Amino acid sequence: MNRRLTNYWNGKTILITGASSGLGYALVEALAPYRVHLGLLSRRVELMQELANKLHASGSQFWIRACDVQKRAEVENAITDFVKAAGRLDVAWVNSGIGGETSYRKWDWNRVESLIDTNLKGALYTAHTCLQYMARQNHGTLVGISSVAAMRGLAARPIYSITKLGIAYYLEAMAAELPQLQFTTIYPGFVDTAINRGNPRRLWLMTPERAAQLMITAVAKRQREYIYPWQMRWIFRLVRLLPAGIYRWVGGKMIEVSRPQ
């Protein structure tokens, strides 16, 4: 086991939203060997309990609560109860998220509002509540899962881009205001999870297990931002440098390429 990871993660109390599937599920599997106290939040209790049962021999503790991140009171109560049970809050992973097309031609207000309520408002409910405890403790790590979709306004998925850019900007602002805490913003590329399985062009596709190992390593290294895979890191930086006119042309061409066939 990597010494840096052991030194950083061993014995931590960790809250993870969206823990029943995708990246959240993989993060639980990756962190369990470090004998941590995990607070798992998701709407699907059965899947989280199955995961905890699967990992019962790891030596970690699992605290499970059904929670819809769109409901602020549920988020606040769940985090408060976990902190009471664990005694403190060392790390919080703001992970819950959904995807979906919101192009002009396929605009759906229900989808738009669900994206905002889950990806942005739900992230803020989680992050702000966790920061209330971390600021009092004078230590803690807040990890936010953004997306490479935050590199620019993504054609056909503008609302998803907005929500992922929003959490990145929020963490940047909080890092300036609360320098005693660690903030890490993660920008995943394509990971083989349900959120992007309808996309026929998943470049440099990565397994959730590999993605989880990369993320827990980046946090242990106290990186402020982490983009993966490495190929997407270069694209991310290049696209941000493109003049607006060129990006609009490229973005328009990418709409049909990224649509499900």
Give tens-digit pLDDT for 57-85.
Answer: 999 999 999 999 999 999 999 999 999 99
| The total number of structural domains that make up the chain | 1
Assess whether pLDDT exceeds 70 at residue 257. no
Contacts of 16 (CB under 8 A, 6+ apart): 24, 27, 28, 38, 39, 40, 41, 92, 93, 95
- What is the band of 259 on the pLDDT scale with cuts at 50, 70, 90? low
Domain with 79 in it = 3-258
**Is the Cβ–Cβ distance between 151 and 239 less than 8 Å?**
yes
pLDDT per position as a tens digit, 111-130: 999 999 999 999 999 999 99
User: Residue 248 maps to which CATH number?
Assistant: 3.40.50.720
Which percentage of the chain shows pLDDT scores above 70?
A: 96
